[in-house]
Structure 1
Amino acid sequence: MSWQSFPKIELHLHHEGAAPPDFIRRLAQEKSVNLSGVFAEDGSYAFRDFAHFLQVYEAATGVLKTPDDYARLTATVLERAAEHGVIYCESFLSPDFCGGRDLGAWREYLHAIQEAAAHAEAQTGVTLRGIVTCIRHFGPDKARETAICAAETAGDWIVGFGMGGDETRGRQGDFAWAFDCAREAGLKLTTHAGEFGGPDAVRQALDDLRVDRIGHGVRAIEDPALVDRLAGSGTVLEVCPRSNLALRLYPDMRAHPVERLRAAGVRVTVNTDDPPFFRTTMTREYEALERAFGWDEEVFTQIARTALEAAFCDDATRERLAKRLEAGLKAAT
């Protein structure tokens, strides 16, 4: 079947990383910014490996300089999400890029993003919530400043705190202060782990940061005891299959461990990560999983329900979304 209209919930989406190449190119032209080396001949983003991806990512998204830029981006991201059946998504936002971790500036950016999200929701039906994210390779001290920004703006819209960036830098526990600060402010927690750092990074995230969800987490499959632990605790993995293929963790979808993790009882969700960079959409993720593993409506329905249960939004929002999800599932199947 066509999965484009199947109702979807996405929990792992980088806000800047969801910027389409044409959006970034147009913004760069408006600002007279030279982005040579960022795009391939076909207009897509061009990178060789994970380290180069980070460089291209920061160069491309560096043209996002003002609250208005982020408002325009938000409208574009939600419009694209709606085209692929997404009814709710949680997006990673970083005060590092939105005001340089200055609380007053961060509030201005956040206000612009929220206004744009509310308008877009009325137009597209996609509900957006934010997860404030520190950048691992910027170090623990800057992560503290980011956590304070998160704590000061926690509420119905900023619902979580997480960490992205270069997973090979330091240890998860180096950032414990930032995560404790966010937890005390009532925010739910997630962190990138088990992508490039291996299964030990997942264990560190669970033990040292006490997170509610794990971003990626796929390399937990290399440690059977860890797989059992994840299944037993009900910890949800924010799996991004085509991202993992694009960054060469696995050679093809058949080799990806998402089905083995699911079969072992681990709660998994499906996400796009940085969709234009990895030439993916939620529809393409579903289509690839159907081809590789024979996933059908029953499996994808469970995936969507797991994602809703694991979402960081408040109970009133979850209840409203549950009605939309079940109605959408009934219509799609």
Structure 2
Amino acid sequence: MSIESAAPAITPELARALPKAEVHLHLEGCFDLADLMLLARRNGATLPGPAASLFDLSTHTVELDPTSAAVTGMGVGRFLAFLDWEGSLVEDYETLRTLAYRACARESASGVRYADIIVNPTHWSPWGHRLEEFLRAICEGFDTAAGDGLCQAQLCVSLLRQQDTDSALEVVDTMVRSRLPRVVALSVDGDESQAGDSNSRLAPAFDRARAEGLRRTVHTGESSGPDSVWAAIDLLHADRIDHGVRAIEDPRLVDTLVARGIGLGICPRSNVAGTHLYGSLAEHPIDRLRRAGVTVSINTDDPGPMGVRIEDEYADCAQTFGWDLATVAEVATASVRASFAPADLAAGILADIATFADALDPDSHPVSAQY
């Protein structure tokens, strides 16, 4: 009598082996604790909190930006201020290039084949008037990593919500002028509660980026509601929304995301343990959005301070929502389709996802590998 093999359990080990992309990852969030300790020692910088719990902002006794009301309490503003402190430690070209390389190595260790990595220059104060050199150092790190067979990465340059129109346009002008092949998209992030009507203010920069062939991705729909996602689509011409989970509150918006193929770069643990938008993973709408037909991907946002790896996020979602191998392969496929990866690279990863799923479970029926 033959015994049919059971479908494979979605463990972190399986999720690590699954080919995939990551589309919502901040370079500022890729510092390890050792990175920060060594950089702080080298620069003679004062730590904002105890060394052993540096990523726990509740232990910080040093105000990182006393002029900002946003950092006086916990929340997004205080976290952004911590990123400012991190970036202030990186003063030279080689250190920045190495950090970019290490981000690609981190991705490869989790089975990520391609990553859209976001960087916000406003967090890196030593580079304030050297934006082109700043971008070039990061891209060189990506180039070296690719040459060593690590994860392929491209760069999404992010504006800060509080930036004015002219400075935002200057960023886009530098992106266009530098002509760095790995600089592929304009982004925007930051604390929406402190930014006012940032979409109207930043729309000219996104218009210019669109005219120059740059892709657009917008952080929204987390601390703000569905209206902000509509604005990202209508005013900023977003190709992708980073977070965007509160779109679930507006059925018409969900239908629009499906119809236009606008993906959501979702970071489950960040929404639960970071911003406490949801009380538990079981309350998170990622599965409802997926079942509604939205292109949802799983991402880590700021893996260093969050203490998260993408394979754990896949496994946790699978356990919480009852995802089988076919569903996990579907989400991995969505991550590639939502990415800004070159078409030939994307097609190769999609084919590998289908092959991987079929080898483990021929009955899994993974989605089409065509790109």
Q: TM-score, normalised by structure 2?
A: 0.83
Q: Which moved more, 1:107-116 or 1:68-77?
A: 107-116
Q: Distance in 2 between the 1:109 and 1:57 partners?
A: 16
Q: Distance in 2 between the 1:98 and 1:161 partners?
A: 20
- Aligned residues of 1:159 and 1:313 also touching (Cα < 8 A): no
Q: Secondary structure at the match of 1:209?
A: coil
Q: 1:287 aligns with which of 315, 326, 329?
A: 315
Do residues 53 (structure 1) and 79 (structure 2) align? yes
Q: 1:133 aligns with which of 129, 141, 158?
A: 158
- Aligned residues of 2:132 and 2:175 also touching (Cα < 8 A): no
Q: Distance in 1 between the 2:327 and 2:93 partners?
A: 39
User: 1:99-146 deviations in whole A, cap 9, x for unaligned?
Assistant: 6564xx323223322222222223353101111111112333322221
Do residues 252 (structure 1) and 280 (structure 2) align? yes
- Aligned residues of 1:75 and 1:117 also touching (Cα < 8 A): yes
The offset of 1:328, in angstroms, is 4.8
Q: TM-score, normalised by structure 1?
A: 0.91
Do residues 121 (structure 1) and 146 (structure 2) align? yes
Partner residue in 2 for 1:18? 30
Q: Distance in 1 between the 2:350 and 2:226 partners?
A: 33
Do residues 44 (structure 1) and 71 (structure 2) align? no
The offset of 1:326, in angstroms, is 4.4
Q: 1:110 aligns with which of 127, 135, 138?
A: 135
Amino acid at match of 2:293: G
Amino acid at match of 2:42: E
Q: Distance in 2 between the 1:40 and 1:294 partners?
A: 39
Partner residue in 1 for 2:101? 75
Structural mapping, 1:158-237, within 5 Å: 158-168=183-193, 169-171=195-197, 172-237=199-264
Q: Secondary structure at the match of 2:45?
A: coil
Q: Distance in 2 between the 1:161 and 1:289 partners?
A: 29
- Aligned residues of 1:79 and 1:124 also touching (Cα < 8 A): no
How many residue pairs are counted as aligned between the two chains?
330
Q: 2:299 aligns with which of 256, 271, 280?
A: 271
C-alpha spacing 1:147/1:300, structure 2 compared with 1 (3 Å):
same
Q: Distance in 1 between the 2:180 and 2:131 partners?
A: 15
- Aligned residues of 1:130 and 1:158 also touching (Cα < 8 A): yes
Partner residue in 2 for 1:298? 326
Q: Secondary structure at the match of 2:222?
A: coil
The offset of 1:50, in angstroms, is 1.7
Q: Distance in 1 between the 2:317 and 2:286 partners?
A: 9
Q: Distance in 2 between the 1:298 and 1:185 partners?
A: 38
5+ residue gaps, structure 2, are 1-10, 59-73, 362-371
The offset of 1:307, in angstroms, is 1.9
Amino acid at match of 1:122: G
Q: Which moved more, 1:296-305 or 1:83-92?
A: 296-305
Q: Distance in 2 between the 1:26 and 1:322 partners?
A: 39
Amino acid at match of 2:33: P
The offset of 1:166, in angstroms, is 1.3
Larger Rg: 2
Amino acid at match of 2:115: C
Identity of aligned residues (%): 32
Partner residue in 1 for 2:16? 4
The offset of 1:8, in angstroms, is 2.1
Q: Distance in 2 between the 1:90 and 1:332 partners?
A: 28
Q: Distance in 1 between the 2:301 and 2:33 partners?
A: 15
The offset of 1:327, in angstroms, is 4.8
The offset of 1:43, in angstroms, is 4.7
Q: Distance in 1 between the 2:185 and 2:57 partners?
A: 31
Q: Distance in 1 between the 2:163 and 2:127 partners?
A: 12
Q: Distance in 2 between the 1:323 and 1:232 partners?
A: 25
Kindly report the root-mean-square deviation, in angstroms, between the aligned alpha carbons of the 2 structures: 2.1
- Aligned residues of 2:326 and 2:357 also touching (Cα < 8 A): no
Q: Distance in 2 between the 1:331 and 1:74 partners?
A: 34
Q: Distance in 2 between the 1:74 and 1:233 partners?
A: 32
